[in-house]
Chains A and B, each alone.
Chain A
């Protein structure tokens, strides 16, 4: 019997959904029945909404990926597949063969509409296996660079690819490398990978590190060769244990295979790589703060110049790129800048990875070429709104980004178009919101985050964001004044103009964009003391519609403060002065007899 390959998606998302049980179950079943199956752990393929996932591959059979499976279903799925009679339900993806992809199943369309460069290996290979990586052209680019290309040529290639930094700001990577390469030639230099992914709702970097750590290492090596660095750090959040584990394994394997260390692949190029675990301060994603943190100091941004390229880590020229940027490098070297240039728009080339979250059907990780419109991402790939509720806005770029309203869903995904809306591309967090989301509350949420994460250095960021938050809180509590809007705008303007780092400069964006597109909602909160989304607790009341209430007492039973009274089979009543507006009764009522106003 031919060998069957069984892959279980074991990234953090998979594990959270129960993939470990699936894996164990499959392992046991194979063992018990002594099946000719190889079971491997892969990482996230991006369909987080359908976790846990299991993929089965066997010659003369289409590859099939099953989603949302349970432990109990595992034996049956394997058995049926081995019997060449795959069961139909829960198929997400079917591929006839690796080269040709004829797709069936609910996810086929979604995957087809993506272009996977960064995620080329994610969910496909075993991230802990360097062989798997090498088998898919891994380290071929490094080999090519070391054998055929001078550092200058590498820089030129990346310059020509017009790759822009995927960390959020979109600075041209080639230019950054060129500056670092020309800075203090001959001195010790550092190459740093910024894996301090901190935006709430973003998990692109984690997925890449968990799913394809070698692609990042390879990108770093090529960069280090290009700029003349011989030592590097991956600065990764300590909250990403699986990513760290995979990185450690990858670095160990790379050393053992002469891919790291002295005279890499027998060339004259040497490079040592360390992992630095960050303590989770958001601001450490900022270059100078990140450097300070590696040096053992408090993570606080420094004034620039000097730029890291001039004087960075331990005072030496240093280049820092984001995980996703590095993951693009090997592909560009292998396929050429021209090929890369074929994707994307005039000023934004290549693809972009997004973490889709919020009120969307298919949340997860996707990669699209630059230039596709937002509605394409949300409706075609993301499957549209959850429960088909009306779309209200999409938040791009996390706490530094902004809300884009329905009227602007035609905006295309590239750095400049998104900036024009007032949001930013950011690192790729995309949170979709429906009418049940209050934009003031959203702005408050993000500002709470940024003002807690301010390093405390700049006056405007430290105190200004706090004052903005206080004003927003007042507004959501119905205590706002109409001049508060003006004060918010005033504060926002100066905070963004007078802060040293991106955290402060962009902190007001969520407020500014919501004010720009949803100003009337702010005014409603202030003037009418009304929250149309029914989110702002202080502005809403729950009450019983007597006509509809059948007196089932469901609400009474769930009320945590016991403020609902009423006899069985008679209309109930909510005592407003005791109600804490938790909404439990509203959710418990099956008769729509409780209204939120």
Chain B
């Protein structure tokens, strides 16, 4: 023990500890990016800079060992500035987007990339869930949004933006039409009440979120129906009211109450007033919109035939449209003007839109203007009405309009060129005119006393909008909040929704904490401020894929009615469109250490900006994406790959500022000896190395986390499964607090092998072979076929394998016991060591590897076990390889020997022999055991670790199933094993993966280890548990078939029954402590064969194929 002073405090430390260790031990936070627990100190990032008394400059906390009486400072303004500068320098060369630009462009910050990915993955409910986290009205908004997001879409640099808005509509349409629609859980009622004035998008949104949070919400609406502008402003052909009704109904699921025809205070006899609401409710959200049309006071504007846009649209919805006559003029160029025009057109009028500027300056959405053109509406650009004229015959009725021609002058404050009068006039005959210039909130009623709160009128601007804090929507007056068009003036629905959501969040926080929530600073790396600043060149690698075009009702069919014009994407269109997404946002933006520190160290602006290294993203590897733009050169991937894993495929290339982490010659990873273990991803502190799926998009959004064991081999590593809606996002190593013996190590099979279950060619339905071809069949047909076959065959037989769970083996045992069928394993699943399974000889804990003096690996073993042996070697063990396969790993060997007999190193009793039973013959295995009895005492870290490709080999050995070969003239069930010999039998395949090229007659899907609840016993006797992270019902389905065909009793068709039985069995398992001479005696009785034990499983072949994708070397 030594004593050091850290930040003035004297603490104890151990010799050999680094400053970082001591700081961690004493809960002093020192940031670090390049340090890794498994690796030696490296000291490249310098964000762990600290000061040591007596040393000039800084030292790295990660790389400096403490000494007695060392005085360390980890925290001072000087250190803070240095770390800040280190981070700033790293970020100045970090050409990357933390968040996708589409999300940042959206006023409501909808997580577009995540929901587009969900759509690409056919996970539509999930897409809706993501959308509704911030936007509760995707059915409506997916139809009417001007899509600010698409303006920033980077895909524009390749071809055209992703049809984000319409994808949203697709997902929402799917969700509402499905047999269940996604609805969030409601928090427990909190006995607080919130009143909302106005059932437009802003008010409804606020009410929706608050009701989900457990509030009692009353929405007061003056109109007969809710929806606000969405109902009374947006015409039916754009947003059918039936859809809107469904959406609002769904929003009310968690208890929001809407009181229609319930105006606040602006009717004389109404007792309700804002004052009362303020008193009766804990908070009031004012979202009254901006529904009052701004008049255009021209000579003659009081004539009959002159209308205002807002009123006109509302009258249409209310079912009493004004009679317009044949020739109608619309004044204005905004969405309301176009809506009026297209509505009037549908009533049979000849419509002309008169606008002061040119089409380019029109504020209406582009596609709306296009649709109006298509529908035959005339446009008079650069025209301005100056007088409405009646005739002498009908002095009160509009007859013609005098219009002045305009030209464009200098730009005004809005940036648009100002229209200038020319003094040239034309006059044209019109029956009606609809002026759709602008709208403002209707606020006269607020002056009434009953609408005053604490004797104060709500704070209003000169545009009649409410003045509130834009971060909280709080008016400053009592408990009154306000937002939406009432705050912004006439704006878009998505902005109104954003206000409503912020208001809900802040009302909740305010009521719970008595203050408003101040969002902590979060660093956002951006490739550029706006799309225009990004170079097209960087996107040259992408090939052009046309943007999906939404099917529309033909003009002829839509022009005289109000049926919805846009018909929605087909599923195929939507998926393909979603797949076009370039996934600009970072996959690890929630966990990125660089972003976290940048936020902690308040990097608000990159002052030290300059040249940036820009690289194309390397997507050539099927599972690992390399984005050097995000790399900080910490070298963790390089070091872990070369020092621990052994592949050593990464390194630095070039020098100076351009130094780059890459495979040799900057080639693709697939050209290297990369083993796709993914450890580089595990250690990357940023998003430079991220996960890929061969067929699916992996968004940054984590799903449900399940911890369980892997079943790719007999090691049974602990894995973290991230899944949502029955599919898996990624599988990775568990976090520190859930860490298993394997630490952060998982091999290719565990990390990526599962992807075969989520590929297009996975079959989850029963299949039957008829006329040499496979056909999908129903459960009922399975039952019929099987019942018939069971009767036809006298012999019925199950072949089982060590890849079944204990639960499944128990079922097999029951089938055998009830004589429904005979059961056996194929002979080569067993060897003499199975007899040792319940003894101390086979119960060598893998944790003891670290205490061994020598580790001898004979032949090839599974990847992670090999890594664990290497890790033990790094802690002092001697590593001896006997007859290894050619591999980069062999460089680590302290000795490589051709045979056990020729090992030169001295071996103590603390020697562990490791082999894989699938890779050796029984004779070879016998030799190992013989040798081990000479060397080891089988106490502590001494003995043998048997390794296999089967996840439940030890489990199978608990049962005494017979060995046997395939029988002729039998009904054979091959359960998770390949067919042995077709013969005359009827052969049923029970497997979690199906290959069309096989000799079976029937296929019944079974669950994989990610689709079932069950147990297994690993090679060295640990219990593996599978927790069905995908919530699959395949196991239930299988049991169902068994009982329907009378193979098991109906009472045994419940998965949990077998689960409980397995649990009991494992709990009561006893390991016998045998003396060593017992082993010698036993070995004397063994006659080993020279057959190699093989795995017979189509799934493994498929996974190998998948692995092949990552290995192109030599091609």
* Contacts from A to B (Cβ < 8 Å): 281, 298, 300, 303, 305, 451-460, 462-467, 470, 487, 490-491, 494, 496-500, 505
List B residues 101-157 near A (Cβ within 8 Å): none
Identify A455's interface contact among B43, B81, B655, CB under 8 A: B655
Cβ B657 vs Cβ A451 within 8 A: yes
Cβ B89 vs Cβ A459 within 8 A: yes
Report the minimal beta-carbon distance from A531 to chain B, rounded to whole angstroms: 22
Given contacts A457-B635, A498-B46, contact A452 B82 (CB under 8 A): no
Measured CA separation A459–B89 after assembly (Å): 7
Cβ A459 vs Cβ B86 within 8 A: yes
What are 27 pairs between A and B in contact, CB < 8 Å? A298-B652, A451-B656, A451-B657, A453-B656, A454-B657, A455-B659, A456-B633, A456-B652, A456-B657, A456-B658, A457-B44, A457-B635, A457-B659, A459-B46, A459-B86, A459-B633, A462-B657, A463-B90, A463-B92, A470-B610, A491-B85, A497-B56, A497-B57, A498-B49, A498-B58, A500-B43, A500-B60
Cβ A466 vs Cβ B611 within 8 A: yes
Measured CA separation A198–B63 after assembly (Å): 28
Which of B58, B93, B632, B655 has the most chain A CB atoms inside 10 A of its CB? Answer: B655
Cβ A462 vs Cβ B659 within 8 A: yes
Measured CA separation A132–B22 after assembly (Å): 60
User: Is B42 an interface position by the 8 A CB rule?
Assistant: yes
Residues of A within 8 A of B545 (CB): none
User: Is B45 an interface position by the 8 A CB rule?
Assistant: yes
Cβ A305 vs Cβ B65 within 8 A: yes
Cβ B43 vs Cβ A458 within 8 A: yes
User: Is B608 an interface position by the 8 A CB rule?
Assistant: yes
Cβ A497 vs Cβ B611 within 8 A: no
Residues of A within 8 A of B45 (CB): 459
Measured CA separation A497–B51 after assembly (Å): 10
Residues of A within 8 A of B58 (CB): 497-498
Measured CA separation A497–B57 after assembly (Å): 4
Measured CA separation A455–B654 after assembly (Å): 8
User: Is B41 an interface position by the 8 A CB rule?
Assistant: yes
Measured CA separation A564–B467 after assembly (Å): 67
Residues of A within 8 A of B56 (CB): 497
Measured CA separation A464–B63 after assembly (Å): 21
Taking A467-B608, A491-B608 as known contacts, 11 extra A-B pairs with beta carbons closer than 8 A to each other, sorted by chain A number, are A455-B652, A455-B659, A456-B658, A456-B659, A462-B657, A464-B85, A464-B89, A491-B85, A497-B57, A497-B82, A498-B57
Residues of B within 8 A of A303 (CB): 41-43, 60, 63
Cβ B657 vs Cβ A496 within 8 A: no
User: Is B263 an interface position by the 8 A CB rule?
Assistant: no
Which residue of the partner chain B has the closest CB to A448? B656
Which of A281, A303, A491, A499 has the most chain B CB atoms inside 10 A of its CB? Answer: A303
User: Is B651 an interface position by the 8 A CB rule?
Assistant: yes
Question: 5 smallest A-B Cβ distances: which pairs?
Answer: A456-B659, A497-B57, A303-B63, A463-B89, A466-B657
Residues of A within 8 A of B60 (CB): 303, 500
Cβ B659 vs Cβ A467 within 8 A: no
Measured CA separation A466–B93 after assembly (Å): 11
Measured CA separation A487–B46 after assembly (Å): 19
Report the minimal beta-carbon distance from B883 to chain A, rounded to whole angstroms: 27
Measured CA separation A152–B378 after assembly (Å): 105
Identify B82's interface contact among A298, A456, A466, A494, CB under 8 A: A494
Cβ A453 vs Cβ B43 within 8 A: no
Measured CA separation A560–B56 after assembly (Å): 52
Cβ A459 vs Cβ B44 within 8 A: yes
Measured CA separation A462–B635 after assembly (Å): 14
Measured CA separation A17–B793 after assembly (Å): 102
Residues of A within 8 A of B47 (CB): 459
Report the minimal beta-carbon distance from A499 to chain B, rounded to whole angstroms: 8
Residues of B within 8 A of A463 (CB): 89-90, 92-93, 657
Cβ B610 vs Cβ A467 within 8 A: yes
Residues of B within 8 A of A456 (CB): 633, 652, 654-660
Cβ A462 vs Cβ B57 within 8 A: no
Which residue of the partner chain B has the closest CB to A464? B89
Measured CA separation A465–B81 after assembly (Å): 17
Which residue of the partner chain B has the closest CB to A474? B610
Cβ B46 vs Cβ A453 within 8 A: no
Cβ A466 vs Cβ B610 within 8 A: yes
Report the minimal beta-carbon distance from A432 to chain B, rounded to whole angstroms: 28
Measured CA separation A281–B654 after assembly (Å): 11
Report the minimal beta-carbon distance from B245 to chain A, rounded to whole angstroms: 58
Residues of B within 8 A of A467 (CB): 89, 92, 608, 610
Proximity bits, B36-74, A CB within 8 Å = 1, else 0: 000001111111010000001110100101000000000
Residues of A within 8 A of B41 (CB): 303
Which residue of the partner chain B has the closest CB to A450? B656
Report the minimal beta-carbon distance from A96 to chain B, rounded to whole angstroms: 52
Residues of A within 8 A of B660 (CB): 456
Cβ B65 vs Cβ A470 within 8 A: no
List B residues 603-651 near A (Cβ within 8 Å): 607-608, 610-611, 632-633, 635, 651
Residues of A within 8 A of B610 (CB): 466-467, 470
Which of B41, B44, B65 has the most chain A CB atoms inside 10 A of its CB? Answer: B44
Residues of A within 8 A of B42 (CB): 303
Which of A451, A463, A499 has the most chain B CB atoms inside 10 A of its CB? Answer: A463
Report the minimal beta-carbon distance from A482 to chain B, rounded to whole angstroms: 15
Residues of B within 8 A of A496 (CB): 57
Residues of A within 8 A of B658 (CB): 456
Residues of B within 8 A of A454 (CB): 655-657, 659
Measured CA separation A424–B82 after assembly (Å): 24
Measured CA separation A462–B90 after assembly (Å): 9
Which residue of the partner chain B has the closest CB to A493? B82
Cβ B63 vs Cβ A505 within 8 A: no
Residues of B within 8 A of A497 (CB): 49, 56-58, 82
Which of A281, A491, A497 has the most chain B CB atoms inside 10 A of its CB? Answer: A497
Identify B655's interface contact among A452, A459, A494, A505, CB under 8 A: A452
Measured CA separation A303–B34 after assembly (Å): 13
Report the minimal beta-carbon distance from B630 to chain A, rounded to whole angstroms: 14
Cβ A459 vs Cβ B90 within 8 A: yes
Residues of A within 8 A of B654 (CB): 456
Which residue of the partner chain A has the closest CB to B57? A497
Residues of B within 8 A of A459 (CB): 44-47, 86, 89-90, 632-633
Report the minimal beta-carbon distance from A480 to chain B, rounded to whole angstroms: 14
Cβ B46 vs Cβ A458 within 8 A: yes
Measured CA separation A460–B659 after assembly (Å): 13
Cβ A462 vs Cβ B651 within 8 A: no
Residues of A within 8 A of B632 (CB): 459
Which residue of the partner chain A has the closest CB to B42? A303
Cβ B43 vs Cβ A460 within 8 A: no
Given contacts A303-B41, A467-B608, A505-B57, contact A453 B655 (CB under 8 A): yes
Report the minimal beta-carbon distance from B384 to chain A, rounded to whole angstroms: 47
Which residue of the partner chain A has the closest CB to B84? A494
Measured CA separation A302–B184 after assembly (Å): 54
Report the minimal beta-carbon distance from B96 to chain A, rounded to whole angstroms: 15
Residues of B within 8 A of A500 (CB): 43-44, 60
Measured CA separation A494–B656 after assembly (Å): 18
Residues of A within 8 A of B635 (CB): 457
Report the minimal beta-carbon distance from A205 to chain B, rounded to whole angstroms: 22
Residues of A within 8 A of B651 (CB): 298
Residues of A within 8 A of B633 (CB): 456-457, 459, 462
Which residue of the partner chain B has the closest CB to A455? B655
Given contacts A303-B42, A303-B43, A464-B89, contact A281 B82 (CB under 8 A): no
Measured CA separation A565–B652 after assembly (Å): 53
Measured CA separation A491–B88 after assembly (Å): 11
Cβ B611 vs Cβ A470 within 8 A: yes
Which residue of the partner chain A has the closest CB to B63? A303
Residues of A within 8 A of B43 (CB): 303, 458, 500
Which residue of the partner chain B has the closest CB to A297? B651
Identify B608's interface contact among A281, A298, A487, A499, CB under 8 A: A487
Report the minimal beta-carbon distance from B289 to chain A, rounded to whole angstroms: 49
Which of A451, A455, A462, A465 has the most chain B CB atoms inside 10 A of its CB? Answer: A462
